[in-house]
Amino acid sequence: MSRTLPVQKNDIIDIVFEDLTHDGSGVAKVEGYPLFIPNGLPGEKAKVKVVKTNKNFGFGRLMEIQEKSPFRVEAPCPIYKECGGCQLQHLSYEGQLQMKHKHVKDVLERIGKINTTVHPTLGMSEPWRYRNKAQVPIGEQEGGLIGGFYQQRSHQIINMDQCLIQQEENDDVVNKVKDICNKYGIKAYDEARHKGELRHIMVRRGQVTGEIMVVLITRTQDIPNKCAIVEEIVDNIPNLKSIIHNVNNKKTNVIMGDTTKVLWGEETITDYIGDVKFAISARSFYQVNPEQTKVLYDKALEYARLEGHEKVIDAYCGIGTISLFLAKNASQVFGVEIVPQAIEDARKNALLNDIHNVDFAVGEAEIVIPNWYKEGNEADVLMVDPPRKGCDEALLQTIIDMKPKKVVYVSCNPATLARDLRILEDGGYLTEEVQPVDMFPQTMHVEAVARLTLKV
């Protein structure tokens, strides 16, 4: 016999918000039954309308806020409620930092049963205009090109001239390139009909160097009036170092395709994180918030507590960003990454910085590192910075078997961090402390660095 739900569709009820979901919706409970309601903040009392009910949870719409949170603010972006890019502009930045700290602490305790020091979130002095890469989908409206972001839970493009979390220079470049393409009759890609040419405009900018790369992502191998378009882009964009053409002719949501060619200038632009220089290609993985990346890596380096004689393994090393930071303070660093292009970039970046005590290997960390261990290669410190799914069980078991004195875990997903820390603690490690870092202000995302030591 199925239980009767405490609310029904179209009910109008009074609730108190208790928490936020991963997409920024407020969470309220009616007799233990969760309701998810966009735009609510913890502690607020409100009147809501139930719009949908499932067996275990339901959805509502905010009708009236009866008691506001002291952290509620007016979102400055005019398309905030339609666009799916940000989730927290209606929450003050102080409130965002507190919420992210609470989220990390709660998840560690609930999922991992980890009771450790979680420091206050390290935030930005200016939590706007931080993204150094823009990837703007292109559409058409009334015969002209438009660019913007997809409406929440849809592929409907909301036209916009600026994004408040992107660097202003990137907004200006996207608008200029869009206007130039429009002038020469370039057609936007039509997802439904798989017709048209221009899918996305991508712009990358070096935060320190100011160097700019423009990437035109098209369905077609050729761009009509290509020479004239390139010439106008060169004439109109200061600090331009590179124009790249990427071809993606597949029916897919993935932005970039397999074919990339240089139309003008260099294949890469350069930028710095601290005093480490990086060459960035169109397809390079490079953190979009370099200011907070420096904060994150400084904390990881601090937690590693290197004295100069250590061997360090950097699992999931990407283009070598953390590896190169570590190499300046270690005897030897070994980096592993599954993406061959990333390892190619990592090797180039090591040469670019005249760093020679690093070795990079292509492969899955959960296969390569166990093989190293079987061959007798061990580490004093092991650094992991896995994708959102966390570390593979085989890698965690190898860490437990290898017994490095210190493990530093950089995480972009508190839930998988908590799960993996539990496994490492059961295997003989102690989580000494965890530091949340706000890499993506105005969004729900939070990074965290954990310091673990081997129990004696």
E strand or H helix at 402, and its extent? helix 393-402
The catalytic position among 83, 86, 391, 412 is 412
Q: Estimate the crossing angle of helix 226-236 against helix 168-183, to 10 degrees.
A: 150
Beta-carbon-side half-sphere exposure of residue 28 (alpha carbons within 13 Å)? 26
Q: Which two tokens stand for residue 423?
A: 């496994």
Q: Which residue in this structure is represented by tokens 């599954």? A: 338
Tell whether the torsion through CA atoms of 277, 281, 285 and 289 is positive or negative: positive
Q: Which two tokens stand for residue 217?
A: 């992502």
Report CA Rg, the chain: 24
> Phi then psi for 98, rounded to 5 degrees?
-65, -40
Buried b (16+ CB within 10 A) or exposed e, 379-391: bbbbbbbbeeebb
Nearest residue to 159 (alpha-carbon basis) of 126, 192, 182: 182
Nearest residue to 27 (alpha-carbon basis) of 48, 4, 5, 6: 48
412: annotated active-site residue: yes
Buried b (16+ CB within 10 A) or exposed e, 283-311: ebebbbbbebbbbbbbbbbebbebeeebb
Catalytic positions, written as ranges = 412
